Amino acid sequence: MKSELEYTNLAGISGPLIFVQGVKGVGYGDLVEIRNGSGEVRTGQTLEVDEEIAVVQVFEGTTGLSIKGTRTTFIGKPLEIPTHREMLGRVFDGLGRPIDGAPQVISDLMMNINGLPINPYMREYPRDFIQTGISAIDGMNTLIRGQKLPIFSGSGMPHNRIAAQIARQARLLTAHEEFTVIFVAMGVKFDIARFFIDSLEESGVLPRSAVFLSLADAPSIERLITPRVALTLAEYLAFTEGMHVLVILTDMTNYCESLRELSSSRGEIPSRKGYPGYLYSDLASIYERAGRIQGAKGSITQIPILTMPSDDISHPVPDLTGYITEGQIVLERELFNKGVYPPIAGLPSLSRLMKDGIGEGRTRKDHAQVAAQLFASYAKVKRIRALAAIVGEEELSDLDKIYLRFGNVFEERFLSQGYNENRSIETTLDIGWEMLSVLPEEELYRISKEDIQRYYIPQKGDV
């Protein structure tokens, strides 16, 4: 049953919101069609209703709308999009409408863009290792199929290149299955979108990708819809069509700014830095759409990218993201300035799902211990560097000097690699051992004697 109700004139406009008076039978969350005097159509959603007034957010923004002559039609259902396999290889705008010149995809299956919460009892715990070919990720912060693992970056750092490299190189070791990529741009410039599309094209991934663009010049409210539209398609492809979908969302900071804008125009009490108190729940409604479910073959892996304002990890956007995602890849300004690519920070980066996806039969038996030892030893390097800055390097003990050497080769050989360099997990772990072998054997207390015997490379002159 579909009830359509049309009203002329508005009671008010404020920021991205319009107020429609005298409404009857309008449901909370209902989709709204808005026509201005010249017949141009926009889309909106009801945020609040009472017996008199409906508050509607307009996704395309309110520029060019006037009180008089604007007509609103309330469609008695929430925003839905068609979902279909044919949507791969296509480019859409932020509301899911094609912008590549080809016609709208027709499908019988219309899905509510807000999705539904997955029953935790029906989730499948993610355990399959994805080889990205990047040592810092595969070796120390392993990505798992179905994980949500964001990249925390700062302005000017190469997060887009890293994401593109992952999209290009991501492989499962166990099965020869390719990833379907969904690329979602929110408030980024056209050249970044172009870079991704080109990169997907070059590597031949474009025909099995879908691109959703809500660029910097699009109305900011539209961005609140874009990730939801894209994830609705992702859910269909993963859980109904059985595909492995990698969703790249960039830039979540822009998304959050739009949410802040909407919240402030509703006059809500802000929480930290003006962001609404429900930012955590709102972000969770996006990030929690990653994962695997029982009985379905496919998966949704999310790589949200966000730039931390002034590189501050405690800013609400990275902070609340970190509280929801299953770890984070943090880019570090200091490494970036040293010319290290990818500048993935050794300590604050973490993959929480790594533990179940690695080891014998998945990657290699020594993987967990090598990673733990690299982390521990690199943490010590950081401490010694801080000390050296005060007392001077000459004053350090011999062991501390060895640690410094370890720190340098670790950054130069292990972390650094080419944009086109695709390392197998064996190569990554072997380089890891090469690095650890710079240290005396006794220092490797996180590694079993057995593995030390097998992999440790005694230095010349040591024996």
Partner 1 sequence: MEEAAITGRIISVNGPIVKAEGLVEISMFDIAEVGPDRLIGEVIRLEEDLAIIQVYEDNTGLKPGDEVRSYGRPLSVLLGPGLIANIYDGIQRPLIGIAESCENHTLMGIVDRCYIKKGIKIAPLDPEKKWDFKPTVKEGDIVREGSVIGELQETELVLHKTIVPPGIAGKVEFIAEAGGYSIEDSIYTVVQGKKNYNGKLADYWPVRKPRPFKSKKNPVTPLITGQRILDTFFPIARGGTAAIPGGFGTGKTMTQHALAKWCNADIIVYIGCGERGNEMTEVLNDFPRLVDERTGRPLMERTVMIGNTSNMPVPAREVSIYTGVTIAEYYRDMGYNVAVMADSTSRWAEALRELSSRLGDMPAEEGFPPYLATRLAEFYERAGLVETLSNEEGSITIIGAVSPPGGDFSEPVTQHTTRFIRCFWALDKILADARHYPSISWIESYTEYLNDIQEWWKELDSEWMTLRNDAMNILLEDTRLQQIVKLVGPDALPVSQRFILFCAEIIKNAFLQQNSFDPKDMYCSPDKQVKLLKAIICFFRKGKELLSCGLELSKLQSLDAVSEMVRLKSEIGNDEIEKIDAFIQRLESSLNSLKEEVNISHTPDFSKGKSVVKE
Ligand X SMILES: Nc1ncnc2c1ncn2[C@@H]1O[C@H](COP(=O)(O)OP(=O)(O)OP(=O)(O)O)[C@@H](O)[C@H]1O
Q: Which parts of this chain interact with ligand X (CB under 6 A)? A: 322-323, 352
Q: Residue 455 Cβ, how far from partner 1 at the closest point, in Å?
A: 18
What DSSP letter does each residue of 231-264 carry, written as one string?
A: HHHHHIIIIIS--EEEEEEE-HHHHHHHHHHHHH
Q: Residue 273 Cβ, how far from partner 1 at the closest point, in Å?
A: 10
* Residue 10, CA distances (Å) to 6, 205, 236 in order: 12, 46, 37
Which one, 190 or 323, has the nearer CB to ligand X? 323
Cα separation, 247 vs 455, in Å, equals: 37
Encoded one letter per residue, x for contact with partner 1 by CB under 8 A and - for no contact, window 8-47 reads ----------------xxxxxxx-----------------
Q: Which does 4 bind (CB under 5 to 8 A by kind): ligand X, partner 1, none?
A: none
Q: Residue 174 Cβ, how far from partner 1 at the closest point, in Å?
A: 19
Q: Residue 308 Cβ, how far from ligand X at the closest point, in Å?
A: 17
Which one, 13 or 396, has the nearer CB to partner 1? 396
**Two tokens, residue 376:** 């521990």
Q: Which does 463 bind (CB under 5 to 8 A by kind): partner 1, ligand X, none?
A: none
State yes or no: residue 77 binds partner 1 (CB under 8 A).
yes
414 to 433, contacts with partner 1 by CB under 8 A?
Answer: none
Q: Is the peptide bond before 282 cis (omega within 30 degrees of 0)?
A: no
* Residue 248, CA distances (Å) to 7, 82, 216 in order: 39, 21, 17
Q: Which does 20 bind (CB under 5 to 8 A by kind): partner 1, ligand X, none?
A: none
* Residue 38, CA distances (Å) to 20, 35, 65, 71, 291 in order: 19, 8, 10, 11, 45
Which one, 102 or 391, has the nearer CB to partner 1? 391
The binder of partner 1 chosen from 68, 386, 418, 463 (CB under 8 A): 386
Encoded one letter per residue, x for contact with partner 1 by CB under 8 A and - for no contact, window 273-312 reads ----xx-xx--xx--xx-x-xxxx----------------
Could you tell me which of 236, 242, 232 has the C-alpha nearest to residue 296? 242
Q: Residue 349 Cβ, how far from ligand X at the closest point, in Å?
A: 12
Q: What is the DSSP letter of 152?
A: E
Could you tell me the strand order of the sheet in which 17-21 lies?
A: 12-14, 17-21, 53-58
Which one, 30 or 60, has the nearer CB to partner 1? 30
Which one, 197 or 388, has the nearer CB to partner 1? 388
Cα separation, 29 vs 25, in Å, equals: 12
Q: Contact at 8 Å (CB) between 152 and 329? A: yes
Q: Which does 390 bind (CB under 5 to 8 A by kind): ligand X, partner 1, none?
A: partner 1
